[in-house]
Amino acid sequence: MKSPLELNLEKELSGLLTGKANEVANLVFNDEEIHCYQELANTVSIKRLGFNDHGPVHMRKVTLNAMRMFNILMDAKIQPNLVKEEIGNEEDSRIAVLLAAFLHDIGMSIGRQSHEISSFILANNILERILKTAFPGQLTRQIAVKTTALEGIMGHMTHHAVHSLEAGIILIADGCDMEKGRARIPMLINQESRVGDIHKYSSSAVERVSLERGEEKPLKITVEMSASVGFFQVEEVLIGKIMASTVKKYIELYAFVTGRDVKRYI
């Protein structure tokens, strides 16, 4: 059963989508296999490994971030690769980003190490099934969307280079899900000190991450924190993803502790 937060995120996502993209979103929202993988990913991540949320809420938040970014970039007349290369249209690109974001961490159901590869493998058949339903008889379109989505899944950890705008969005959308709620459950479950705690504590200091139209560049990312430990998330996680992303040149990045001066990184 879905949580109220999952349902609210789905409602918010639907408000950003129209047409075929909204149809595909409803397919993945109601897909039992996907939801099982997402739930198990969270069990493995939080209960078995003591990491942050990598489950249904995280994957919906990343999808929401990705759709917001996609809309802002499209409003700025920046062409995604499927359009630029005359492989598909804007809707195809949007659907590829949507699917990559929604499935990018299902490999956490197996384990953390190389989970982007596990996600790639698990997502392949799911993508084929979803896209055959969405685009019956349109094999070329199915393959274009599937391969673009798989690039985004494979590249979201920065270990594999990405080359499309669509895949570059996934990197940053994932990095932007670092608000304090993501670390709440592991913080409650395990109070013992362990290597890697900086990720939980730094995430707990992040109050808000906003994605808006920029002033000098198309996309502005602003991170608001309650304590300076939150800069770890910005400098060690988010910036690395931005630097590896094809979207880097379109971004302004700011971070600040509430009540203090704003720091601009990019």
CATH number for the domain that contains residue 10:
1.10.3210
The pLDDT of residue 187: 44
Query: Whole-angstrom Cα distance, residue 59 to residue 103?
Result: 7
| Range(s) of the domain holding residue 124 | 4-264
The pLDDT of residue 24: 98
pLDDT tens, residue by residue, 52-94: 778 899 999 999 999 999 999 999 999 999 999 999 999 999 9
> Which pTM was predicted?
0.92
Residue labelled with tokens 């969005």: 169
Please name which of 187, 160, 172 lies closest in space to residue 234, comparing C-alpha atoms: 172
Least confident of 98-102, 128-132, 190-194: 190-194
In this predicted structure, the answer to whether residue 264 has a pLDDT above a threshold of 50 is yes
In this predicted structure, the answer to whether residue 176 has a pLDDT above a threshold of 50 is yes
In this predicted structure, the answer to whether residue 201 has a pLDDT above a threshold of 90 is no
pLDDT tens, residue by residue, 218-227: 999 999 999 9
At residue 124, the 3 state secondary structure works out as helix
Query: Whole-angstrom Cα distance, residue 104 to residue 123?
Result: 8
Amino acid letter, 110:
I
Count how many domains the chain has: 1
Query: Whole-angstrom Cα distance, residue 64 to residue 60?
Result: 6
